Structure 1
Amino acid sequence: MRVLILVENLPVPFDRRVWQEACALRDAGHQVMVICPQMRGYTQPEEVLEGIQIYRHWISGEAKSVGGFVSEYASALWGEFRCALKAWRRGGFDVIHLCNPPDLLFFVALPFKLFGGVKVIFDVHDLWPEMFEAKFGKRGLMYWAVRIAERCTLALANVVIATNKSVLRAVKERGKLSDDRAFVVRTAPNRMKTTAEPDESLRVGKKHLVGYIGVMGNADGVDYLVRAADHIVKTRQRTDVQFLLMGSGPEHAELLKLRDQLSLQDYISMPGRVSDEFLCRALRTIDLGVACDPINAYNDHCTMNKVLEYMAFAKPIVMFGTVEGRFSAGDGAVYVMENSAEQLGDAILALLDDESRRQTLAAAGHARLTQELNWERSVEQLLAAYQAA
């Protein structure tokens, strides 16, 4: 089977979920192509990587406003359609696999389904209407346009896959989907070097090292973690904790400014996007990981990659108690049930000061990931979805 995967918000192989899916489909004997944006250091228009053909297109940039969204998505759709035409002329494809957000990729898939008989799989990474509302804090005309786009994509799809059960429940209800058209494909890491050597220099002479890995956008709550560090250093008078915040995104520059305004340069390292080698060394070194995505209707449905990555490296977690976050981490985390930087900071300190509890949480989280949420089970569901399509 010839498979074309479309992803708009991250490039491959940087997007771990999409790349793992592509590799799993390749290993199952399918011919796989991926269309993604040129960003985050991946700028080659075309390349073949590990047997997978990658097409990358120009995109206007990561949006911070409604106008920015229009520009970003218009440029992305045009680039995706041009790349899809190129793939079609070079041999075509049998399945087009749409990874949201946004829920606009049906525009690219529609002509190929209508005139080429291509099957459509909708891979729901995020509930886009909830994501839009969390980002802009209101429901206007654009919000209802987003809801219509979601319905159109669900109507076009032959099969839908989702990252967790709560997302699946939502899309099944909205799309009136039967059980044989809907599957859960979770995102467990399987390509990370969990045996990397720790790097104690990352502690910068401090006793404790707290880590964060992930996107830095206005929906990710990294400002809570920066302010939690401020609470730890200035209110709790603790100077033995170093914070390592890895990742980039549209809010990275603003978060750097916030760190500097709070005079926390000696306590917070923010290297931006890091290499896989650096990331694995860092995850081996940290004493605990933080997931600071605030509790809201959007994040309650999200399975955060960072949480599963901490669990893969057997690290205890402090996180806001989102619904899916609590399901994913289980007994491997301490949960803060209010969106409060001070409570987040207090929870971090309490866990840092209790080594025995850290070890207990780490073991529970690692066991949950490897025994219940492992990638091998997700591959079975992915291949079942393709068989259904």
Structure 2
Amino acid sequence: MAGRALILVENLSVPFDRRVWQESTALRDAGWEVHVICPMGANRDTEPEAVIDGVRIHRYPLRPATGGPVGYLREYGLALLHTYRLARKVGPVEVVHACNPPDLLFLVARMLKRRGARFVFDQHDLVPELYLSRFGRGEDFLYRLVLRLERLTYRAADVVIATNESYRRAALTRGGKKPDEVFVVRSAPVVERFHQVPPEEALKQGKPHLLCYLGVMGPQDGVDYALRSLALLRDEIGRSDWHAVFVGAGDTFDAMVALSHELGLSDMVEFTGRIPDEDLLRYLSTADVCLAPDPYNPLNDVSTMNKIMEYMAMSRPIVSFDLREARVSAGDAAVYAPPNDESEFAKLIALLLDDPEERRRMGEIGQARVSGPLSWENSRAALLAAYDAAVS
């Protein structure tokens, strides 16, 4: 049964949020009338109303949080008010589909449930682990509060969508959900978007090798670990036969540029900010090794990293820290340094730079994984099964 679905997301604008956009278009193709409520982007997705490829998007202005936990409470409170206002404007729906963070959107979902909607909770992040990892304040009052909000969200949900088996386990244990109420919909790249283009030697800035990082640059994303590893690659291992490019932006972008200067890497490291897809493909098609420097913390250990999936879609070998879900995603497409060990991370980069045949083999393994068992087609089927369970 298809009807009207309303997707709520606060973390990113749409269609920039690739996971939400893939879910939206998959539901549209299955016959659903899809509405999305989300914030406006800073330099993109700025129209209050838009219809893109048949998906109706309703956006609100929102300033990103600053100033620690209090800043996030302010951001989330404003987002909740805007979401409530726009949900009333959209009107009755068969399914309300809330994507976290934050674990506050269940309040809007409960309003819509009273009008007959079913609630699908799409858990993008384990917010209690996110709080522990981002703020380092331990299990204080705010931690207990976010844990309580997560439990209330689970309780209100008719169906939970988890991004991997670790998240599914959380929904079953601390969420108390039944196994047939939790569906794993892995974040997976659309393989057609990630395709090889001819490598460009000029991107290596005159060096034999190109290293590439792709992703958000926030406090928990490990760009600082990558930069310190590159300094060790140069200073301890004696390798300067590489140029590194960091693609992406985020809260710590300026701090990471400053750190590269402090480490004396200015002439070896390039920061592009966010770039168009066609430029991203040029860098990834030229890269010899891709970096996944997410450090071990309570959130990263159990989270699926989009960068890893995208590296594999481009047949690139990966150096990662040894995290539980990183291994589940990459398997033998990556080599793994002990968690947060920058010296070993640097040594693994050097080993791969010296072994082009191993790089080729790892790239083929990764590409086969995202085209097969980890493909978006499998995730799409799981998403539609979750909706069938919600409305049955």
Give the TM-score band, short-chain normalised: over 0.9
Give the secondary structure class of the aligned counterpart of 1:201: helix
Q: State the one-letter code of the partner of 2:175.
A: G
1:356 equivalent in structure 2: 357
TM-score, with length taken from structure 2: 0.95
2:49 equivalent in structure 1: 46
Separation in 2, partners of 1:210, 1:78: 43
Q: Does the aligned pair in 2 maintain the 1:299–1:322 contact within 8 Å?
A: yes
Separation in 1, partners of 2:66, 2:385: 35
Q: State the one-letter code of the partner of 2:213.
A: Y
Q: Are 2:53 and 1:33 aligned?
A: no
CA-based RMSD:
1.3
Give the secondary structure class of the aligned counterpart of 2:96: strand
TM-score, with length taken from structure 1: 0.96
Which one is further off, 262-271 or 311-320?
Answer: 262-271
Deviation at 1:341, TM superposition (A): 1.8
Separation in 1, partners of 2:304, 2:254: 26
Separation in 2, partners of 1:343, 1:197: 31
2:122 equivalent in structure 1: 123
Question: Cα gap change, 1:345/1:227 in structure 2, threshold over 3 Å: closer, same or farther?
Answer: same
1:148 equivalent in structure 2: 148
Deviation at 1:87, TM superposition (A): 1.4
Query: Where do residues 1-389 of structure 1 align in structure 2 (5 Å cutoff)?
Result: 1-42=3-44, 43-63=46-66, 65-88=68-91, 92-114=92-114, 116-137=115-136, 138-190=138-190, 191-389=192-390
Question: Cα gap change, 1:155/1:274 in structure 2, threshold over 3 Å: closer, same or farther?
Answer: same
Separation in 2, partners of 1:366, 1:177: 34
1:310-357 C-alpha deviation (Å, 9 max, x unpaired): 000111100011100001101110011231222211111111111111
Deviation at 1:362, TM superposition (A): 1.0
Q: Does the aligned pair in 2 maintain the 1:60–1:71 contact within 8 Å?
A: no
Which one is further off, 119-128 or 229-238?
Answer: 229-238
Separation in 1, partners of 2:182, 2:289: 35
Separation in 1, partners of 2:90, 2:119: 16
Question: Cα gap change, 1:5/1:173 in structure 2, threshold over 3 Å: closer, same or farther?
Answer: same
Gaps of 5+ in 2: none
Aligned residue-pair number:
385
Separation in 2, partners of 1:40, 1:72: 15
Q: State the one-letter code of the partner of 1:275.
A: P
Give the secondary structure class of the aligned counterpart of 2:34: strand
Separation in 2, partners of 1:146, 1:334: 35
Deviation at 1:63, TM superposition (A): 4.2
Deviation at 1:64, TM superposition (A): 5.4
Q: State the one-letter code of the partner of 2:35.
A: M
Give the secondary structure class of the aligned counterpart of 2:384: helix
Deviation at 1:286, TM superposition (A): 0.8
Separation in 2, partners of 1:81, 1:198: 48
Separation in 2, partners of 1:15, 1:142: 27
Separation in 2, partners of 1:197, 1:44: 36
Q: Does the aligned pair in 2 maintain the 1:211–1:283 contact within 8 Å?
A: yes
Q: Does the aligned pair in 2 maintain the 1:60–1:72 contact within 8 Å?
A: yes
Q: State the one-letter code of the partner of 1:266.
A: D
